[in-house]
Structure 1
């Protein structure tokens, strides 16, 4: 994992949380966005955890470059309560996860695991803020509309969407629903097409709006 934040204390705190999970390793740390992009190219991490506001190059611009240079690297944006206005742009730049610095440490571990496995992850706290912000921008609907929209999906597609919202990867969804990974991928493509969504993060938002999140 690549960890980028201009505050040394934040980096130390995140590093100590990640140390609880033996399968996670921080291979590089950056103090600004330019350094984060360079280290991502050099180390090719599975996950890049980026602070939104950093010197020289902000986290959103860094996310765009990392996603362009290495699409295999899942990008998680680390935000504060005062940065809601950046959420829509972060979606456009290819972020796969959103976490608040005030979140429970378990959310950090859950988010990294989900994104590393190819999923998308919104912590419960940030999910509500993402939905509110996108509604204000006219980019998403009311919860009632989403529930109505989800009704156009098949039962199996709704099952897949419910687990997409929980941050599960295609392989994990397949294991839960006893489907091969290729079939899950086809369902995900159908969901995005039917609901007019661009990526797994927007699918997760739709699942949150519709109230159908499931982790089992």
Structure 2
């Protein structure tokens, strides 16, 4: 029995020395680092944490599998990132192709039209600058919105402007949006999102599919 107790005591003593030794070694290692090395170490750890947050944002916020989710993500990010007074009027323009800033598509118009709803519901003071000076009426209906410049106001008040671009990639569309002060050009808020539609060919989405090949039918001779 005493021998067993002695063995237990010896093992416990060895473990204690081992733990103390490890602790001492860690203390020596930490205290042996000079200020510059410790500073760089802390920078690396901070960078790792930032990259982990960025990866989490990419998975859960900026990458969406539906167009509705993508638009909601853009609006939510703009609301969270804004450095602006929401009482100031905001106008929203059509999203354009990144390679051609003066060209849009139905896709770009859908995104901008949907953002009007999303941002308005989040407290942005959205104004419709395409309103005519009068309501026009014909046999088919009544109209107020127009893209004919001769029917619109010549000037708009001092506002923020939402602009956006999209870029078609394989299986996805990358969108970037920003709120700009139209007087100073300062970027007030920004957001980005990826619509991951996973289609090999997105021509149906952008309505630019090539016409089906046709052949001529001739009389056999």
After TM superposition, the score normalised by the length of structure 1 is 0.25
Q: Which has the higher helix share?
A: 1
Asked which structure has the greater CA Rg, the reply is 2
Higher relative contact order (CA 8 A, sep 6+): 2
